[in-house]
Chain A
Amino acid sequence: MADKETTRTVSPFEYAPAPESRAIVDIKPSYGLFVNGEFVDGTGKAFKTVNPATEEVLAEVAEASEADVDAAVKAARRAYTRVWSKMSGAERAKYLYRIARIIQERGRELAVLESIDNGKPIKESRDVDVPTVAAHFFYYAGWADKLEYAGYGTQSLGVAGQVIPWNFPLLMLAWKIAPALAAGNTVVLKPAETTPLTALLFAEICQQADLPPGVVNIVTGAGETGRALVAHEDVDKVAFTGSTDVGRAIAKAVAGTDKKVTLELGGKAANIVFDDAPIDQAVEGIVNGIFFNQGHVCCAGSRLLVQESVAEEVLGKLKRRMGTLRVGDPLDKNTDIGAINSAEQLARIRELSDIGESEGAGRWSPPCDLPSNGYWFPPTLFTGVSQAHRIAREEIFGPVLSVLTFRTPHEAVEKANNTPYGLSAGIWTDKGSRILWMANQLRAGVVWANTFNKFDPTSPFGGYKESGYGREGGRHGLEGYLK
């Protein structure tokens, strides 16, 4: 990597370190499972969760065995039959409002813990993840006693088995648990193997809220635990966010059952910049689109489609902007790009980037000092990418942007839709009619025009094609949890 001298000439600003204190979080040496309102020891092995920015072991966490999953499902079933399905929507709502309030009260703690366990910059966990989590619970709380107006009936499904990824551990938990509980279901949730800690802190929040035991159960573990949960015969609903490969396996596993399924899977979004776009804003949008959360975002704008006539200008400005991105300590308030979540993910990003180079694309990263411990990858872009290149087709799930060009709007649409995915897309242009035409043509569940990576509890999110099915958020998000 580059020496300090180069970094200085590229970066116009010098900042002193501004680390957020981690004194607010109390990480225990070991954690059990949260079943029936209590923390219990698992019957399986334990696994370690590490801080990806330092490789420091944070805690040992129980790996839920099939028997543990069964106990959790039984607790959820009991809570469903005896308590939660009998409770009025208005009372369920109040529990959800309580949870939303406690999340706000303990927001700082949640943000710091999220950044430590996940590696994401504190400015994102503090300003995006945690506030959106609280908002999500607050939003769905209000639906609990209004289901008859939503258009999907009022009959809950029963026990929901939910499996979530490591990129937005708390936010994905909120997207799963809030609508499930509002609709009257109980849940067993499995957080990702590398980011279990905030889900376990959420379990504590459920205790503080006096949520009836068994309504929320958290089983930590890896793939085997997830498989046991999805396959459990007393689970009525499966909700999954993660890779398309695992989504496919889940769709096969539930074939022939009565389980209702929603899947929010991978993406390879096109972020399309026209020659009349406000270029400086577009550059900010491109940076936000691919470098937000280290690019660990299913809807990341990982394919930049830029109109040929402005490609040089856009790339010049983009490179200059990338040179100002600060990569480093996730707890530093000035950090723009934190740590890659795991050694495994880092290896995948490296592998695909190397393939990009060997397939002939031009690789570029700004000069960038990376810490010696931990998992890091510099913001990277590839030019001269063709549609056949693997870096244009496969989800890299890291801070790596593939740049392609186009001449006409039709060509942009053709290229944008040339993917088995269909989660999101971006459009940058000053022409209103073109925005609407493009938005109609793009086969994607979320289209951001002159903005990118915006999320809101009221706004349905989910994919077309192999990006999965079902919507999370908004009134639409209730459908997956009602009969």
Chain B
Amino acid sequence: MAVSTPDLKGLRRSVVGIAGSFFFYLVQRRWFFIALAVGAIMINLPLPEGLSRAGLIVLTMSIVATILFITEPIPLPTVALLIIVGQILLLDLESTKVAKTLMNDSVLFIMGSLMLAVAVVKQKLDKRIAFFIVRMTGTKTSHICIGISAVCGVLASFVGEHTVAAMMLPVGLTLITLTSDDPRAVRRLAAVILFSISYGCSIAGIGTPSGGARNAIMIGYWREFFFDPLNPETRRFLVDYVSWMVYAYPMFLIQLPFVTMILLFTFKPEHRNLSRAVVKLRAQIQETGPMNRRDWTTIVLFLMILVGWIFGSDTYGLGTIAILGAAAFLVAGLVEWEDMNSGVNWGVVLLYAAVISLGVEMKETGAARWVAVSFIEVLAPLGADQGIGLWAAISALTTAVTNTMSNGAAVAVLGPLVLNIADVAGENPLVIGFITAISSSFAYLTVVGTPACTIVYASGYLKTSDFLKVGWRMVIMSTVVLLVAAAVYWPLVGL
């Protein structure tokens, strides 16, 4: 049958249209295909000396997952699903065995603390906290900023930075909007106030084990990699709540005044005194009336959870207590399950679980050790294969990674590597682990680095370039404080 010219033209147009759509899809998902290509190349490389086939597969999976974490061409929980499937199909592991590695105390803690975060934010204690801040600080911008950082920090060190950032964001925004309706007239003031919230939370999140998922993940790795129930000497790798605080909390306190100084120096806010906004804010807050039974119940429940973490986490684990706390909020009727269900992104829990599971495989297959040996070989000529040089290198590596993905994911990915590096270099894994966990909070340069940064960025007042403008100063300050603490303070307290 003869095909007429218009038919051919139509056919050609359809083919071009389909090809165009396919090209658009390829461009949109390019990083997914690039990651797959990198994976395909790596997996077919000749085996490097000292690395097993299984090790190469796990290493390949880790690199592919890291590319996908950073570039996000597909929804991130999909990466978790692929990691699970990859372990079963590529490593030939039993699905039940893989499933078991997905759940441990760290994952329970992440789940529990997220549910607690929703429960706490829902109680609307933010106005009480705001009242406390403005009463304590007065009306000077600098005093308000240090007050915000201090209060956010103290709270975030126990309840997690996302909780506090979500609670305190309206307080900061109210101060800004009460100062001026025009966002451009208070741009620098907005930056100082909002960064006081996010950086206050970030520097404090490492203060206690319950301050962030990364801390629980590192505690889990120490237990998994170094604790041997038959060897009493390895009990030191079971880091309890108070010990963690002794090592890490002073770092938050030291950094606190520097945060305000750096923010004021960098942004130079338009208003040095916020008396007008503070007066209006006080009037708004006073409308809420005195503390009621619900407020008191929340505070008592939270203090009980805190006591549980301090005295019971050694025996029952941080995760169990977090889960118990979430259950207590539900039993007390302070929050509905629907609120928790919609407030928590469960895909994130799955993601952490999968990454931790992959981390365990990194150790089991020897891939982590091989990377550690290679890393040390690279650092040796630079004199950074041990001591403060190695600490600085690990801190820099963690800072670089954590600025491209969430800090919990950074510790989950890097944990097995750095702990093996410590082992190979003859360093104390506790010191290296602390350096990694603490450095993971140095994600000051990007929006995606820490949950607190992402939350304050959602206000619409900040530009991504603001993070770079102030972030590099923060990175230098925090790194110096960390290295000085590691060299001077930790030996004094027996680490």
Chains A and B are bound partners: no
